[in-house]
């Protein structure tokens, strides 16, 4: 189904509604929900709400300023527009991904001006890579990284301080560690069109200005996890699974790796409780898929750790009266559970 900017839509597999505010590509649109942030959603997961209303939306205007290469989106400064801080990597030569250099961008898509620093983990600790200021709704080209040096950027630290010349609401500073999987940069489908910069790019969210809605309250464990999953760019059809030797279909077995670095790119600063919630949500989605598609077994790689994740996984399986046992010791050690489905 085709959607247009301004369409009011409802999520098929999650609670809530929103407004289409960006066309990302042929199969994905950006939907701004009532909390004020935009989330990428596959169009097959949406349905139009026909209530006679339509929101007029004016796409951001990109302005090139000298001498620095910056792109500023002129949109109404209101709390509902706060979407966050992003890093972006775009290929210098998108027609030859295997040999291209990459542009590193810092994107301030908030109602605040910011002070920022970007550091890279080296053998003796973090080294400052760039620092400066970025105005509200400004995208800055930090550096062009050569292909031979891109492997040095697998761990990036970003520190952000929010401020404004006018009276403003307090926002906590951000200090995030981004684990960048460099091999992803050599897959063309990770670079998408966007409203931040005039190039297709891999966009990495390094902030969540509404994070207190989920984990800074006593009722955190009862939070609506759908919003968190949307923020991490995970929909039901995008659950990351590590593929077994056989193809994952209804005839063979299924395998899912719940190590947090396999599920999301940016988990620096998250508490253990937050991480476990995300892991269990991915497990539940994979389990539902395995059952509905009649897989023979589901192997859950939870690792050893302190045993909490393994305990939670097996507690869910017991409540569902599903048979399970330890996974292959030769392949997983003590770090996996095999669920017998059919």
Per-residue pLDDT of 33-89, as tens digits, reads 876 777 788 788 788 776 544 444 444 444 434 444 444 443 333 333 337 888 989
Residue 154 has pLDDT above 90, yes or no: no
Residue in the structure block whose two tokens are 């999650």: 14
Torsion over CA: 291, 292, 294, 298 (sign): negative
The pLDDT mean for the chain works out to 75
In whole angstroms, give the CA distance from residue 37 to residue 94.
29
Closest C-alpha among 49, 29, 153 to residue 101: 153
The string of pLDDT tens digits covering residues 168-193 is: 888 888 888 888 877 778 776 788 88
Q: Based on the domain organization, do 201 and 287 belong to the same domain?
A: no
Q: Based on the domain organization, do 66 and 141 belong to the same domain?
A: yes
Q: Based on the domain organization, do 68 and 203 belong to the same domain?
A: yes
Domain total of the chain? 3
165 domain-assigned: yes
CA 226 vs CA 100, 117, 259: distances in Å:
36, 31, 20
Q: Please name every residue paired with 255 in a beta bridge, in sequence order, or none if there are none.
A: 299
63 three-class SS: strand
Q: Based on the domain organization, do 127 and 264 belong to the same domain?
A: no
Q: Based on the domain organization, do 164 and 263 belong to the same domain?
A: no
Domain that holds residue 310: 239-340
The count of C-alpha atoms lying within 13 angstroms of the C-alpha of 246, restricted to the half-sphere facing its C-beta, is 13
72 domain-assigned: yes
CB 304 within 8 A of CB 313: no
The string of pLDDT tens digits covering residues 269-304 is: 777 888 888 889 889 888 988 888 888 899 999 887
CB 32 within 8 A of CB 49: no
Report the pLDDT value the prediction gives residue 246, as an integer from 0 to 100. 41
Q: Based on the domain organization, do 73 and 160 belong to the same domain?
A: yes
215 domain-assigned: no
Q: Based on the domain organization, do 166 and 250 belong to the same domain?
A: no
Q: Based on the domain organization, do 84 and 137 belong to the same domain?
A: yes
216 domain-assigned: no
Q: What percent of the chain has pLDDT over 90?
A: 17
CB 239 within 8 A of CB 286: yes
């Amino acid at each position: 189904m085709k959607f247009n900017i301004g369409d009011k839509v409802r999520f098929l597999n999650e609670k809530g509604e929103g407004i289409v505010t960006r066309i990302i590509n042929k199969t994905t649109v950006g939907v701004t929900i009532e909390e004020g942030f935009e989330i990428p959603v596959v169009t097959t997961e949406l349905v139009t709400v026909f209530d006679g209303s339509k929101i007029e939306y004016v796409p951001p205007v990109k302005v090139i300023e000298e001498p620095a290469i910056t792109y500023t989106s002129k949109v109404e400064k209101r709390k509902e527009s706060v979407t966050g801080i992003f890093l972006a990597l775009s290929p210098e030569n998108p027609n030859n991904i295997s040999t291209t250099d990459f542009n590193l961008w810092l994107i301030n898509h908030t109602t605040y001006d910011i002070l920022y620093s970007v550091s890279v983990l080296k053998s003796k600790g973090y080294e400052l890579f760039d620092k400066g200021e970025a105005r509200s709704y400004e995208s800055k080209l930090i550096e062009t990284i050569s292909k031979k040096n891109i492997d040095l950027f697998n761990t990036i630290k970003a520190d952000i301080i929010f401020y404004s010349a006018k009276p403003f609401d307090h926002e906590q500073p951000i200090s995030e560690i981004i684990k960048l999987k460099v091999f992803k940069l050599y897959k063309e489908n990770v670079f998408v069109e966007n409203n931040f910069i005039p190039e297709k790019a891999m966009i990495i969210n390094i902030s969540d200005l509404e994070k207190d809605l989920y984990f800074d309250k006593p009722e955190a464990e009862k939070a609506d996890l759908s919003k968190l999953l949307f923020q991490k760019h995970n929909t039901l059809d995008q659950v990351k699974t590590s593929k077994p030797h056989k193809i994952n279909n209804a005839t063979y077995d299924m395998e899912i790796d719940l190590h947090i670095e396999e599920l999301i790119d940016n988990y620096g600063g998250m508490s253990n409780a937050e991480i476990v919630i995300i892991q269990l949500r991915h497990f539940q989605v994979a389990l539902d898929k395995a059952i509905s598609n009649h897989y023979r077994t589901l192997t859950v790689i939870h690792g050893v750790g302190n045993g909490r994740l393994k305990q939670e996984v097996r507690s869910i399986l017991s409540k569902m009266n599903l048979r399970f046992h330890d996974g292959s010791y030769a392949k997983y050690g003590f770090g996996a559970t095999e669920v017998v489905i059919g």
